[in-house]
Structure 1
């Protein structure tokens, strides 16, 4: 369909998509967001010091511990940490973000549980990748890829374990059911995971994966189903997870049944550059 042939509603659709994608890019390029990550370190019994991050980090008898030297300070939940501190009390959601300033540069020390381990992932506002990031290309917005589907609830929500881009790590999600939809004359289904406020999240691959789109996964947020179960899968809003941009990521990959046999020529494409671990 040529731009000249689009109806006004199509022009509105494109305008709304453009505003949404610009907002998504702004969130993704937060100065201390995931694109500012400068490493990923697994904590163990031995004390670990990471250049550019205050403290010596380790796993103690009760979980992760940081030992801060003279003049070193971390701030979390409005509290300044000094000396030797256990971090388990700050990991109520599985993750703690500890703010610091190093050489005048703001940073975050992210401490998170992943599988059976605990990782330290520093983020710095002077990240070289973040400073050179020029945006993510996407397919032109196309109303035909806003597909109406039907949510089919499971008798009971199930816990699904899926692998991650890093070997040996698994993620657990609650799956309340699946979504059925039709493209062309063929019906497809995708396992859905529970999102916030009744929304659904879908992780998927398709025939573009590894060619024009990121190989491991794309993610799509779906608004809460209507009372009759109807939903809209707007594949134009399919986005990359952090693993598309950096090796310092533990992103989940889709369950096997969420690989579509069709080419979803919509949504975000492969980033132009990524951070590779040394």
Structure 2
């Protein structure tokens, strides 16, 4: 083995080890006691009081926001404070939410696509307790692709569909990422990431509906360098919660993010959807 081959092997081993640590952390977050696999219901609120089998009390919403009325003996803990009787959550902002603790469960109170929802999360949910991991492609450095971030003059409001029929999400797209793959010029519209400065892209590709989830995958991109350079590490392309459960309101990629190439990297179709 030559020195070059030794370095290449060492680099590949280091790359794989770093990816494995990232992958384990992803799986742990997904299967956490109150992660998305613990969701037992997706309840849409209106002005009529409603009761749900997996949450305490009676729930309604209106112009002033969400209110729950708890029965005698029932209690929620909101922001560390026990509450009984009627509790007013107020108006929750889009994509915002409050987690109220109920015994060993968490009752997520949130707004998605302009709708107020209640989404209980129980550690004993069968989807969570039966989870055996997500199938993945073997990681390889060839899928860590250099790109360049091109900021728009002003962020562009971008409306996308959702996993729930009839629901829409609106995001402010600050720019796009241009890159090449196998000599082909491509680009992806980017949305703000969860961490300030980072970017998030939603995409489908030629593997979607074959070996990967049909509706979407997501990729987080580190903050661009001063000259706009970024790395699209498709080895870290992940499924959104809707790939595992129908009790999610995940956004779909904008039309321009449907890549005409096969990205054989990252997470595959979950076993929960028939993946192997």
The whole-number CA distance in structure 2 between the counterparts of 1:210 and 1:240 is 13
Structure 1 spans left out of the alignment, 5+ residues: none
Quick check: 1:213 aligned with 2:212? yes
The whole-number CA distance in structure 2 between the counterparts of 1:32 and 1:228 is 40
| Correspondence list, 1:20-169, <5 A | 20-60=22-62, 62-88=64-90, 94-101=96-103, 106-169=104-167
| Correspondence list, 1:128-277, <5 A | 128-195=126-193, 196-274=195-273
> C-alpha displacement at 1:4, in angstroms?
9.9
Structure 2 spans left out of the alignment, 5+ residues: none
The whole-number CA distance in structure 2 between the counterparts of 1:214 and 1:74 is 36
**Superposed CA offset, 1:158-208 (max 9, x none):** 221211111221112221110010011111000011122211100000000
Tell me the secondary structure at the aligned position of residue 112 of structure 1: strand
> C-alpha displacement at 1:274, in angstroms?
4.9
TM-score by length of structure 1 reads 0.92
Tell me the secondary structure at the aligned position of residue 11 of structure 1: helix
Relative distance call for 1:273 and 1:198 in structure 2 (3 A) is same
> C-alpha displacement at 1:156, in angstroms?
1.1
> C-alpha displacement at 1:10, in angstroms?
1.0
Relative distance call for 1:226 and 1:60 in structure 2 (3 A) is closer
Relative distance call for 1:94 and 1:224 in structure 2 (3 A) is same
**Superposed CA offset, 1:210-236 (max 9, x none):** 000000000000001111111000000
Give the superposed CA RMSD.
1.9
Relative distance call for 1:44 and 1:35 in structure 2 (3 A) is same
